[in-house]
Amino acid sequence: MRLEGSERSPLPEPHGVGPLDGAERVEVTILLRRQFASLRYPDVVRLARRSPSQRGYLSREAFAQYHGADPADVERATVFARDQGLEVGVSAIGARTLRVAGPARLLGPLFGAPLERWSYPGGSCRGRTGYLSLPKELERIAVGVFGLDNRPQARTHFRRHKTFAATDVAYTPPAVAAAYDYPAGTDGSGETIGLLELGGGFSPSDLTSYFGQLGLPTPSVTAVSVDGAGNAPTGNLDGPDGEVELDIEVAGAVAPGAHLVVYFAPNTDRGFLDGLNEAVHDTTNRPSVISVSWGSPESSWTAQARAALNAACEDAATMGVSVLVAAGDNGASDGVSTGVPTVDFPASSPFATACGGTRLLLTGGKIASEVVWNELAIGEGVTGGGVSEAFPLPSFQSPANVPKAPNGFVGRGVPDVAGDADPASGYSVRVDGTDTVIGGTSAVAPLWAALLARINQSLGAPAGYVNPLLYSPAGAATFHDVTSGNNDGYSAAPGWDPCTGWGTPDGTRLLEVLRSASTAP
């Protein structure tokens, strides 16, 4: 049976194609159906309109019991894999996944995928084209297969400042948080922030030095390995280390009392899914907020990958976990070669809060001006934003007057919120032993994650899925509206727009709205 949504296209040119060694080890994640398919999945949009203290979230354990995989399906898939001579790894009931491994000569034909060795400028990968097929034994229980193709899937969304002008400024993360009026008397204590990373690493000495300069305690940071990846600094300021240390330093400086857990996974669609699921369903560290600063254009993902990651974000919402995702640094086109407006994924998931970017100027610690981040003229990026062609307009966005996508689709608008992201008004950070300045929407996701951790601390309950409340009249009134600038495709305007969403936060007012949200059914 053909696995719908699994179709893969070739890599963009230029790339070379050659034979793959049949003995090459291939690791695959099989995504299984939900058990109790007739059991109604929680209406998280309706739930999220209530006060966080009144929502009645499912625990991770209860979610696994009622909405995870059927243990009988896991057993059937396990027996089948072993009968084929494959190694069986970790299974996760809540995430509905089973990991298996074996040589390419077995796994490729098993799923109808002729595998090849592809080379491209800067590296090589294992590739496939077309659809996958499911063996008869898995036809009714498997809904996705990931890992046969291990091309790089996502890119970082940070920009290091390199072109300096007299008007440029740099801020510490606490200075930006203070300008956005983050709630006084909070530091994220008792909360855990998960950070998803698909490469690179951090140096403890960098963190000690950086937080010492700020006069803050070095936060508690735990590294979690997913699919064999780990904390592996490259020593390259402009590589993924910049992403990892930016995320840790922004989140840790703004919410110094929070525990930070960094989930390291490979940069593939399988790695992204397994890493996000690890964070969402982690019963050891239990993050209440997850920050994701990686992504790529919607069109670069298979439909099965978009569906699986969107489902993981919905799982998070059901369990009271907020997912903040960077909206991208390549403007309305998201860097696609055609230049046609598109959006970045997973920022376009309706169950994620998408974070766009601004250029922020402060006077006396207060906002003096704020416009859409757009530094295309000097090659230092521009905020992403636009309209999804994969996800329909969610009901909570109906008040926002989201325009149609270029193909006429009535889709989800991106972003929801914004924050300082321009490298020319960027964040003072430390990466690979060097003090530097970094911007990008990558900084906005952990900035917002830290805000929600502090709000959670004050509420004594997780804010969870905040999107529906952000689009309520009271929620929309908590923002600094950004009405000037463009992202090379869309222009800012009063209210919501596809550059900065509703705008940048007034954290104290947002806390008040969440505390007094309607408890009507």
Question: How does strand 353-363 pair with strand 417-420?
Answer: parallel
pLDDT of residue 37: 62
Indicate the pLDDT class of residue 46, thresholds 50, 70 and 90. Answer: confident
Q: What is the pTM of this model?
A: 0.96
Predicted confidence (pLDDT) per residue in 426-462, tens digit: 999 999 999 999 999 999 999 999 999 999 999 999 9
pLDDT of residue 36: 75
* Domains assigned to the chain: 2-33+69-146 (3.30.70), 155-165+173-361+372-395+408-464 (3.40.50.200)
User: Would you say residue 483 has pLDDT above 90?
Assistant: yes
User: Would you say residue 519 has pLDDT above 50?
Assistant: no
User: Would you say residue 521 has pLDDT above 60?
Assistant: no
Average pLDDT over residues 333-359: 96
Average pLDDT over residues 390-397: 96
Average pLDDT over residues 493-518: 94
User: Would you say residue 44 has pLDDT above 80?
Assistant: no
Residues taking part in catalysis: 243, 247, 442
Average pLDDT over residues 33-49: 73
Number of neighbouring beta carbons within 10 Å of residue 394: 19
Average pLDDT over residues 278-301: 98
Of 462, 367, 487, nearest in space to 420 by CA: 367
Indicate the pLDDT class of residue 63, thresholds 50, 70 and 90. Answer: very high
Predicted confidence (pLDDT) per residue in 95-134, tens digit: 999 999 999 999 999 999 999 999 999 899 999 999 999 9
Element holding 301 (H helix, E strand): none
How far apart CA 202 and CA 243 sit, in angstroms, is 9
Predicted confidence (pLDDT) per residue in 285-296, tens digit: 999 999 999 999
Indicate the pLDDT class of residue 518, thresholds 50, 70 and 90. Answer: low
Indicate the pLDDT class of residue 40, thresholds 50, 70 and 90. Answer: low
pLDDT of residue 14: 75
Predicted confidence (pLDDT) per residue in 246-267, tens digit: 999 999 999 999 999 999 999 9
Which residue reads 């110094």 in tokens?
256
User: Would you say residue 50 has pLDDT above 80?
Assistant: no
Contact 389, 342 (CB under 8 A): yes
Taking the CA atoms of residue 289, residue 295, residue 299 and residue 302 in that order, the dihedral angle to the nearest 10 degrees is -70
How far apart CA 98 and CA 463 sit, in angstroms, is 31
Mean pLDDT of the chain: 95
In the chain, the percentage of residues whose pLDDT exceeds 90 is 91
Indicate the pLDDT class of residue 16, thresholds 50, 70 and 90. Answer: confident
Q: Residue 3 is encoded by which pair of tokens?
A: 């696995």
How far apart CA 304 and CA 144 sit, in angstroms, is 6
How deeply is 37 buried, as exposed, middle or buried, from its count of CB atoms within 10 A (0-12, 13-18, 19+)?
exposed
Of 40, 297, 353, nearest in space to 155 by CA: 297
pLDDT of residue 55: 80
Average pLDDT over residues 181-201: 98
How far apart CA 229 and CA 274 sit, in angstroms, is 11
Question: How many Cα neighbours within 13 Å face the side chain of 449?
Answer: 37
Element holding 159 (H helix, E strand): strand 159-160
